[in-house]
Structure 1
Amino acid sequence: MNLNKIINTPRLTGLHLRVLGICFLLNMLDGMDVLVISFAAPFISDAWDVSPGALGIVFSAALVGMALGAVFVSPYSDKLGRKKIIVGSICTITAGMWLTALSGSVTELAFFRFVAGLGIGSMLASLTSMVSEYAPDKYRNQAILILHAGYPIGAIIAGFMAAHILPQWGWQPLFEVTALISLCALPLALFLLPESLDFLISRQPAKALEKVNRILLSLRHTVVSSLPRVEADATTSAGLPGLLTSNLRSATLLLWLAFMMAFASLYFLLSWVVKLAVDAGLPVEDAMLAGISLNLGAFFGSVLLGWLSSKMGLIRVISVFFILGAIASIVYGTVDMNVAGAMVAIFILMFFVQGGFTGLYAVAARLYPTSIRTTGVGWAIGAGRVGAVSGPALAGVLIGAGIPVGWMFIIFSIPLLVATATILKINHQPVKKD
């Protein structure tokens, strides 16, 4: 069975589009569930008199959960299957969001945000692997980047929901609504999302032949009477050691550092832009628009990078985006602007920062073979979460210490330049394919 020939068919089928569409919607939920806290933060701060430092810990709690989910839970996707981890993650996210709405203290709020983050982190790597394994090679970069463009769309939806719900009903109902939306996504994953064809062939779980033939029919290929013999490395190379073999070690460590630096800048922006806008005297409605503008830039940047990468090369385009993002961050922090100018500047800033960051997922998915793909993506995300956790927390400490807002954007442009230097060092060579 030539799996590459089957998947790399030049025609797109309904199954290709269904997998991408469902995973896109699930990643939208991730964006909604992660970023809803940034919209609710001013209201939580006013209601409970929360200090910037404590608020930074609440921001970071979900990110810690996402890191642990990506590193310790998502690798089970390489053993149990992408679909099982995705379904379990949705259940965890739903519970965490609902319990967040019931929080009665900052400690409870941080803990339940951690629970939601655990589910989000464990699902994200599996979604990336699923889309990568179903996308024909010709469209793989674009498919992965479209998947991750769902994240800012979810954040935009959260922004519109927040603008409607928060002024009238407060922050708790906002989390209740997001929990219900997450729950409604469960049937999509249970009944409409197939298991990864790569996983079924390489691991051959129970009823693998039946499931493979059902997928082959959906891909307009003939069925098979038996599956190929499982290769030894399909069962022995999974896990962290597989990422640190001699041919992958250097690229893996560089990828981790690039994720870490990009995450630090990205989550500073995602977590603090709305709160800083309110503190600067912007009406809450305009501050919400700032968050929406930020995520619109993220969406269009991610989609355009996918198209440009097919023309100019993935790593080259990511590097250009990061450099332009650093410049945009410095300009935004040092130039006085009216509200309209600030919205445009935020759009441009996030266009380059999120666009370049999203490209790192495509690098990770292409770097690793099926047997360790989700493990590789998960550990890259987990390593990156060190930056995601430290970025908002450090910003909270610096703001509390009286560092001017403008300087914050200059400080957080530096990790983007480090990420640029790091990603250029990755010798992105194809590894053994399944």
Structure 2
Amino acid sequence: MPGSTKLHGWHLITTVAALTIFAEGYDIVVFGAVLPGLLVEPGWNLSTSAAGLIGSATYLGMLIGSVASGRFVDRFGARRILLTMTVFLALAVAACAVARSPIELGVFRFVLGLAVGGNIPAAIMAARVSAPSARMNLALTWISSGILGGGGGASLIAIPVLPTLGWRALFWIGAGISLVALAATALVIPKHPAAGGVRPAKVRFAQVMTARHRRLLIACILATTANMLVWNGMSTWLTTSMKELGYTLTSSLQFSLVLTVSALIGSLAFGLFADRAGARTAGLLSTGLGLIGLLGCVVGASTPGIAWIAVALLGAGAGSTTTMIGNVVAIGVPAPVRGTAFGLNNGLGRVGAIFGPLTGGWIIGATVGPAWFFAFCALVLVLCAAALALVPRPGAPADGASVTPHGDADRQDIPAAQ
């Protein structure tokens, strides 16, 4: 890849990679925005439990796509994976727009999840290679924040579009955004933004779970699983929960917008902080902030003033934590197995994303009220903090070996996992 990064510039590469994730963020979060319309769609008779199952189908696809894609990125480079998965993303979200039944919508959302899961490791690795080490956390956070920006865009666009044009129009808009991301990727992303531009040998999972990386990866996967359960459960059910608490549809959609916009702002702020204090420390702080927000939702979601502040804190905190955990993996694992390691963390962590919408559907459908769902998420976030605290500190031994990334093929000056 000699010269290609200089030709395009790491800022431009990172921004275009973030654009592909923006498209994915829109397509993921838009389901929560259209959910009130789906629940009253004539002829569908969609229950909250069935809606939660459809929402979880997306994250099941993301799990499979992310685990598989990480290995392909290590071997073939990010550009080919980004282009292929973005094509599938555009087709899948367009198919959602013409779905004729809940079953069809669930199948299309699963395929959409495969594309999203496949794209995320590729976008992260494109930035990981091109960005300078002094700005690594910020670059990786900028990529990951694309999904939050897309989610905020979905909530913002839904406010005028959903009441007037209906839920299908929101999916068509998502297909258009995906096509724009596809064109930008084809023009900007270099051909081989992976492991120094050299295609390595096939990576085996046993190479990733060595003593040197095992503790870091297991702790990160557990923390990611817990945080994704909270974040994706809240992203799916916040609009519906606020409606049940007596807010109007417009106000409920605005709560979802606040959640995603505050997550975007929080991620960028914690990304800057992580370049100084480390991603591990930033992740622990963001988890604590999210927990404060959830506790505010438990005690005061029915009071507008408290609710707005609590949702904003929840977004800034929990919306940033998974990004910080991903930064720990992307920085702390060396180049030959980095994509596979990130794919494992991001993919297996989707188990939490699968159960988030399902759990929300079960709890809210049981008529115990949204406050119980908020309380459940607070408990899970405590478990997330506990798992993240198990991540080795910089330079500390992990299962008898240093976590410092020796032999990093594309960068020798990358700091250890924070």
Q: TM-score, normalised by structure 1?
A: 0.87
Name the CA shift for 1:338/1:376 in 2 (closer, same or farther; >3 Å).
same
Paired amino acid for 1:141: N
Kindly report structure 1 stretches of 4+ aligned residues shifted beyond 4 Å: none
Which residue, out of 380, 386, 408, partners 2:345?
Answer: 380
Query: Residue 163 in 1 paired to residue 159 in 2?
Result: yes
State the SS of the aligned residue for 1:412.
helix
Find the counterpart in structure 1 of residue 331 from structure 2: 366
Q: Deviations over 1:219-250 (max 9, x none)?
A: xxxxxxxxxxxxxxx415x1311211121122
Query: Residue 79 in 1 paired to residue 75 in 2?
Result: yes
Paired amino acid for 2:33: F
Query: Residue 403 in 1 paired to residue 368 in 2?
Result: yes
User: Does the Cα contact within 8 Å between 2:289 and 2:313 map onto a contact in 1?
Assistant: no
Find the counterpart in structure 1 of residue 33 from structure 2: 39
Query: Residue 21 in 1 paired to residue 20 in 2?
Result: no
| Pairwise CA RMSD | 2.0
Query: Residue 322 in 1 paired to residue 287 in 2?
Result: yes
Q: Deviations over 1:308-365 (max 9, x none)?
A: 1123222112112212311220121112553344222211111111122211111110
User: Does the Cα contact within 8 Å between 1:24 and 1:146 map onto a contact in 2?
Assistant: yes
Name the CA shift for 1:342/1:382 in 2 (closer, same or farther; >3 Å).
same
Find the counterpart in structure 1 of residue 201 from structure 2: 235
1:307 Cα deviation after fit = 1.4
Paired amino acid for 2:249: V
State the SS of the aligned residue for 1:46.
coil
Find the counterpart in structure 2 of residue 179 from structure 1: 175
Alignment partners' CA distance in 1, 2:143 and 2:181: 16
Query: Residue 129 in 1 paired to residue 125 in 2?
Result: yes
Query: Residue 274 in 1 paired to residue 270 in 2?
Result: no
Alignment partners' CA distance in 2, 1:254 and 1:196: 30
Unaligned runs of 5+ in 2: 395-402, 410-418
Find the counterpart in structure 1 of residue 24 from structure 2: 30
Alignment partners' CA distance in 2, 1:424 and 1:341: 29
Find the counterpart in structure 1 of residue 220 from structure 2: 255
1:197 Cα deviation after fit = 4.4
Max radius of gyration: which structure? 1
Name the CA shift for 1:201/1:13 in 2 (closer, same or farther; >3 Å).
closer
Query: Residue 417 in 1 paired to residue 405 in 2?
Result: no
Alignment partners' CA distance in 1, 2:385 and 2:79: 34
Q: Alignment length, in residue pairs?
A: 397
State the SS of the aligned residue for 1:103.
coil
1:118 Cα deviation after fit = 0.5
1:198 Cα deviation after fit = 4.1
Find the counterpart in structure 2 of residue 143 from structure 1: 139
User: Does the Cα contact within 8 Å between 2:280 and 2:388 map onto a contact in 1?
Assistant: yes
1:13 Cα deviation after fit = 8.0
Name the CA shift for 1:284/1:73 in 2 (closer, same or farther; >3 Å).
same
State the SS of the aligned residue for 2:361.
helix
Find the counterpart in structure 1 of residue 50 from structure 2: 54
Alignment partners' CA distance in 2, 1:127 and 1:161: 25
1:143 Cα deviation after fit = 0.8
Find the counterpart in structure 2 of residue 230 from structure 1: none
User: Does the Cα contact within 8 Å between 1:83 and 1:189 map onto a contact in 2?
Assistant: yes
Alignment partners' CA distance in 2, 1:156 and 1:198: 30
Paired amino acid for 1:235: A
Unaligned runs of 5+ in 1: 204-233
State the SS of the aligned residue for 1:257.
helix
Alignment partners' CA distance in 2, 1:191 and 1:291: 33
Q: Deviations over 1:69-91 (max 9, x none)?
A: 00123421111221000000101
User: Does the Cα contact within 8 Å between 1:202 and 1:371 map onto a contact in 2?
Assistant: no
